Homo-oligomer: A and B are copies of this chain.
Amino acid sequence: MRIELLCTGDEILTGKTVNTNYSHMAGRLGEVGLTVSWGTTVGDDRGTIYAAMLQAAGRADAVVVNGGLGPTVDDLSQEVAAEAAGVRLALDPAWLKRIEAYYSRRGRVMPSTNRKQAMLPVGSEIIDNPIGTACGFSLSIRGTPFFFTPGVPREMRLMFDEQIIPRLLDLSGLETVSRVKRFHTFGIGESRADQLLQGVPGLAPDDAVKLGFQSHYPQLETKLMVHAATTTEMNRRLEPVETEVRRRLGNFIVAEDEQSLEQKILDALEDADGSVATIEMFTGGMVSSRLLGASGGGCRVRRGVVSRDLEQLADAAGFEHAGAGVSVDSKTAAALAASLKKRCGSTHALVVLVSVSGDPDRGDRRGAIRIGIVDEGDSVVRKATLIGSGQWVRLGAVELGLDCLRRHLYGMPVDQRIDFETG
C-alpha cells in the first residue's frame, strides 16, 4: 500500500522547526509493517496545500496530513480539504461542545476564534483528540482516504498510534496487531550483533518477526517487529525469538523496551535501600546527570563530583594520600571509591577516571579509563582503553562506568570485553 505523508506549516517549510513529526510517523508505520512512499512539505498557503493534496490523492492509497488544524487564520487544512473533496464545511456541534468544555475545565471562556476548529468538511469522520482542541478527521478526496492530524506532537502521536495506524492497517489488509520489542545493549557493535543473532528471526514461523538495529553510540538498539491477527498469536510468535535474543545478547543487555541503563541501576539501589556517590573525570558530569535524571535519582544519588584535576577529586573524596601524588590507575580508582563512600555515607560509590592523550587537532585521542566501585563488602575495578574523538572517549567512559555499576549490582562480571575497547 502506498502511504504518503503531507506536512503543512510555514515553521516546517522554512526549517525553523525540524520536522520530527514526519520521522515519528514514518518510523511508527515501519514498525507496524507499513511503508511510506512519498513525503511532501508545504507552507500555510492555500494554493500549494490544494495542489499537494490533489497530487497525493492521485498517487497514494492513503494520505496522512499533519498540521493546519489550529484556530488561527493560517490554519487551512479543513478548508482546503473541503475544497479538494468538493464539499462544504459544516459546524460539528458535538466537537464545539468539547472545545467549550475544554476551556471551562480550565476556568476560561472559549475564544470565538476556536469555533473554527469545529468546522469540518461534510462527510468526514471525526478522529478524536482526547488531549487538545484540534479535531482530527478522515475524508475521502478523489477516492483516496485522507487522515488529518494536528501539528502539536503530543496530540499527533497519541491520535496516530491509537486511531490512525489501526485504520491504515485495516485498509492495507495486513494483520492488525503489532508490537516492537526492544533490547538496549552496551558493548556490542551492530555487525557483531548481526552475527550473534544469525538465524534467530527464523525461530518464528512465516517470517513473522523482523529483526532490525539502530545504533546510537555507545548503545545499540535491537528491535524485533512482530505482526499477527491476534495478541495471543503475536505473543506466541514473538516468544521463542525474544527468549533466544535475550540468551545470546546476555549480559550486554542493559535494559529492555522503555527502560534505561540508569533506571536499572536505580531500581537495584531502591530494592537494596541503597544509595550511591560518584566521582568522575573528563566526562562533564554525565555519570551523575544520567543517574539524577532517572526516576528516583534525586534521593538515591547522595553526591556527584566532577573535575579534570585528580587532586581535586582526591580532596573531594577525603582521600589522604600524604603528598605521594595520585595518578589514573586502578588502585587510585578503588581507593577514591572507598573514601568517597565513607565520606558521603552512601552504600555504593562509583569512580570513573579518564586520562586522555593525543593532540585533539591531530586525529584520534587515546583515553585510558579506570573504574572503581565499592559497596558495603566488596570492591571491583575495571580498566579499558578507548580511541576516538574526545566525545567518543567521553561517551564511552560514561557508559562503561554506569554499565559496570549495573553489572556489579546485578551480580554480573564487570570485565567482559566490549567491542569498542583497544588492546
Contacts and interface: CB of A to CB of B under 8 A. Distances in A.
A280 to B, nearest CB: 10
A306 B303 contact: yes
Interface of A: 13-20, 22-30, 35-43, 48, 52, 55, 214, 282, 284-286, 288-289, 292-293, 298-299, 301-309, 312-313, 315-316, 343-344
Nearest to A391: B293
A162 B285 CA distance: 37
A341 to B, nearest CB: 13
A320 to B, nearest CB: 15
B304 A285 contact: yes
11 contacts: A13-B37, A13-B39, A14-B35, A16-B30, A17-B23, A38-B40, A40-B41, A285-B292, A288-B306, A298-B308, A301-B308
Contacts of A14: 26-27, 30, 35-36
A184 B303 CA distance: 33
**Copies of the chain in the assembly:** 2
B303 A316 contact: yes
Contacts of A288: 284-285, 306
A9 to B, nearest CB: 11
A406 to B, nearest CB: 19
Contacts of A313: 303
B305 A305 contact: yes
A182 to B, nearest CB: 14
Contact of A43 (B37, B289, B301, B343): B37
A54 to B, nearest CB: 12
Contact of A343 (B302, B315, B343): B315
A13 B36 contact: yes
A28 B15 CA distance: 8
A308 B299 CA distance: 7
A38 B41 contact: yes
Contacts of A23: 15-19
Contacts of A344: 312, 315
Contacts of A289: 284-286, 289, 306
Nearest to A313: B303
A190 B26 CA distance: 33
Contacts of A307: 301-304
A14 to B, nearest CB: 5
Given A15-B22, A303-B312, A305-B306, 14 more contacts: A13-B36, A13-B37, A13-B38, A18-B19, A22-B41, A37-B43, A38-B40, A38-B42, A284-B288, A302-B312, A303-B309, A304-B307, A305-B316, A316-B316
A206 to B, nearest CB: 23
A343 B315 CA distance: 9
A18 B15 contact: no
Contacts of A39: 13, 39-42
Q: Which of A22, A30, A35, A52 has the most CB of B within 10 A?
A: A22
Contacts of A16: 23, 27, 30, 214
A415 B316 CA distance: 32
